[in-house]
Structure 1
């Protein structure tokens, strides 16, 4: 099951309904669906608060293609203040307009259990001096099934390496290599699992449970973990998955570089994180005075160029120049996006010739080709 299929069951959960096991399992293991569920919970609280104030809500008009319309001039709002917002997902917004103002849901979101159908184990290791590392280990990709740590625990320097060997239902077999070393010592053989001085232990580990591994003079290492449905792009200090959603584009205070020189700083327009909220049919739209308009999308747009994505950078070549967006957070799970640059674009109002960020809906005009539905 994918997010678009599971999404309709999120509101059913908050209405106290029983949903199919496949949907419940997906929502329990999918960060994007869990975020949507939290949005519903927060929405329910806010709706009950506003209802208590007896304020009438105005229902916006709908367009012929059944999408809720955006304000006619979104630029004006962005010029009033730096915009760093978390937009309500369309599913939640539609539910609000339909009048679901009595969401009395107290459902608790729990972590994925040991019997998950996830394919990645997010492994956390703690030593006597505190946390050592958080590492995702894939059960499907051998190139992403190993992680290393080198550091000091007490008076010892420890080299620590974990490789996921196999999976049996809800548990995995780990090969744990450890050895102490002297600073400056050559550890190249250790990184290739060929160090005769390394101690090797194979242990079965079940995510959701704690496992202690004795490492001689260093003491014990404690392993914990949870299942995930993807390999995180970036892991926070305490194991948080900081990856974008499956269909999300995300920008945090981006810079635009042209031929390695900064030509645009959007920190004022995006003071927090601007996100397409997992909607692949939306493109991020940026305007930078002197550089024109940029549309960035996961879909191949007409006249757009392909751009490479690496963590928080989008790189492409266009018009004889090299371009790069550098942002403060991972941009996308995809390694490629499309960029439509319109260097001659100007805002209609001369007084609004300042940097802004918005989103624009894309429509398909032919097989494999998309364009903005309100292309300037």
Structure 2
């Protein structure tokens, strides 16, 4: 539900009633993961997707029914040889969908949309399996100890559910947790689906060059908050980078040491100039960033590694550097190069190989923890 929160917030502010179908469980191969959502308003307008097209029609009808009768339901859709294209998942997987009507008497859901719309971290915990009458009951959980709503009126149960949801929120993860009806963590009582919403991850592009212009567009497309940093004010301008969220005129290494980064941050060094690169990468490779890539020829890469060893970087730290940056797509133009960089970032963060799927025996939809970062460096040339 939270993946379409901005659109749902507009509907809520306009006073519309709507129903939301959220993927709460996936088995096998499926095109969309837990948290993917489709919503339908009282006029029949639909937004979002739960399956990339396979079961959208059937889910749409469930949303319409929920608007009419006000009931929350859970439905399963799976592969069917007889009716695969009509209702089943032709990729062979199974998805469970929670369909919830959102009306003015659903204050927790509407409050969640407001909080997420302000880009504040929050988690929405909903009952997806349990005793009759509790399906769809929700808690809005925020950092600290605060929460809104109740599952069944028992404070002990609500506190346990909020604690479990807050743990997922702290990790920036979406998933399910089980708690007993007496408020302990033993399974067998309620199953909660917890959606976490945290501010978008950062992409910091160092070097206001032509390649950076295209990479900013690619970064925004992937959902990053994109910053461009360059020490030269004549190049780091809004006219050249209209799509960037932030423009910073400063020495790259100095800016990196004072700005906020975390395990989701992506750092792309496009300066390919030793006086910028070496002090910048010395700092970058000691941060817990998701990805650090640097542009340059193979000769530049070897010279840069030599200089980085001289300033004290270890082989383990150097192994984190993706250089030359990007996957080998035969890229020539700035746009093609940006695509090769973006593809490598996705592969590193999601555990992909960068190899063609044609002839590959690896799963298309990998069961990889969305919060995990890592993966071996890919062979690359920008």
Tell me if TM exceeds 0.5: no
Larger RCO (CA under 8 A, 6+ residues apart): 1
Task: Kindly name which structure, 1 or 2, has the bigger radius of gyration based on alpha carbons.
Answer: 1
